[in-house]
Amino acid sequence: MKKIVLIVITILVTLTGCEKSDSATASDVFFKIGRGDEFKFDDIKLYDSSTHIFYLKEEQLVFNDLLSDSFAFLDKSDTIYAGAFVPGYSSFIPAGPMIHSPGMYGNHAFRIDVWIDKKPDLRNCPRIIELLKEHNLLHSGLSGTVDFVEIIGTQLNFGFTITNHDLTDLQIIDINKAGTELYHYFTNGLYLRDQNYHEVFSSTIEHRSPVPWNSWKPEWLSTLKSGELISFTINYPIETPISPGEYNVLFEFPGLAYQVSKEVLFQGNTRIWLGDITLRGNITIP
């Protein structure tokens, strides 16, 4: 089971959307923290649009702090969108973009999260995507598709495919190398919900923690080259029979996070993929 316990603070998040205003003030600042810390495009190494993670060229100690502040992404001083840092002692989930504080990616990367699923997603709005393209910072990361769910006796077999859309090769956690129990330390696994969104199945696999808990090993990973795809199957035991019908599938494909230091994150044209993506689909169980 994923070992992330993040609680959120009452913060009013001001969202300004993706429309461009008539601001005439020119500035090189792209990302600004309300209290004054500013980051230019030259401070950023890349943005992974699949996980909404910004990777920084240098470590920034400000991301070690327990911030309760606002942030904004700017285009020549004009706000593209804004959000809030959410410290771990908070109990409120803001409605817009937020950054957990301190984050799960050390002080060399930060992730923009949205817990309330609203459309459109401001994090990848056309304006910010085009701006990142102009500065050669946009990377597309991974996508995933649900291939099948089949039930054989008291076992549920779940198949899915991961595709690397990135410009670079990516190292991902390979369930066949890490093992099923360790793999489920990094993910909560598979969920099935009926058409009324009632949960009818969730993973019962007992997870196994790394030793020590904040460690990782290169032998857990496989390299997925740019443009390639790889398929996996996970076998889940079924404790309660699942009736025939239509179901919604949800699965969190996991990556590493705080375990990976900046020194080993990039290895030539390959990087260790951080974060996670959610695979969704619809299946019929006969």
Residue 98 domain flag: yes
What distance in Å separates the CA atoms of residue 135 and residue 26, rounded to the nearest whole number?
16
User: How many of the other CB atoms lie within 10 Å of CB of 137?
Assistant: 17
Q: Both 113 and 52 in a single domain?
A: yes
pLDDT of residue 279: 98
What's the rounded Cα separation, in Å, for the pair 203 and 237?
A: 8
* Helix, strand, coil abundance in the chain, percent, nearest 5: 10, 40, 45
Cα–Cα distance, 259 to 210 (Å, whole number): 11
In a domain, 185, yes or no: yes
For residues 149 and 86, membership in a common domain is answered with: no
Q: Are residues 157 and 115 in the same domain?
A: no
CB 96 within 8 A of CB 110: no
Residues 13 and 41 in one domain: yes
1, part of any domain: no
> 279 and 186 in one domain?
yes
Report if pTM > 0.95: no
Query: Phi and psi at residue 90, in whole multiples of 5°?
Result: -75, 155
Q: Which residues pair with 109 in a beta bridge?
A: 55
95/27 same-domain check: yes
- In a shared domain, residues 168 and 264: yes
Q: pLDDT value at position 188?
A: 96
For each successive 10 residues of the chain (286 residues), what is the average pLDDT? 35 36 57 90 97 96 81 94 86 84 90 82 94 97 97 96 97 98 97 95 95 95 98 96 95 97 93 97 93
Distance CA 162, CA 146 (A): 9
| Residues 163 and 221 grouped into a single domain | yes
Structural domain boundaries enclosing 251: 141-285
Q: Where among 90, 117, 138 does a domain terminate?
A: 138
- For 274, which DSSP code? B
Handedness of CA 150, 152, 154, 158 (dihedral sign): negative
- What does the CA dihedral 184, 187, 189, 193 come to, rounded to 10 degrees? 160
231 and 186 fall within a common domain: yes
CA 184 to chain centre: 16
169 part of a folded domain: yes
> Is the domain of 124 the same as that of 179?
no
Task: Check which CATH number belongs to the domain holding 178 and give it.
Answer: 2.60.40.2360
**Residue at a domain's end among 138, 172, 192:** 138
| Residue that terminates a domain, selected from 119, 138, 157 | 138
Residue 2 lies in a domain: no
* 173 and 222 together in one domain: yes
Instruction: Report the number of distinct structural domains present in the chain.
Output: 2
Q: Are residues 183 and 273 in the same domain?
A: yes
Residues facing residue 73 across a β-bridge? 31, 81
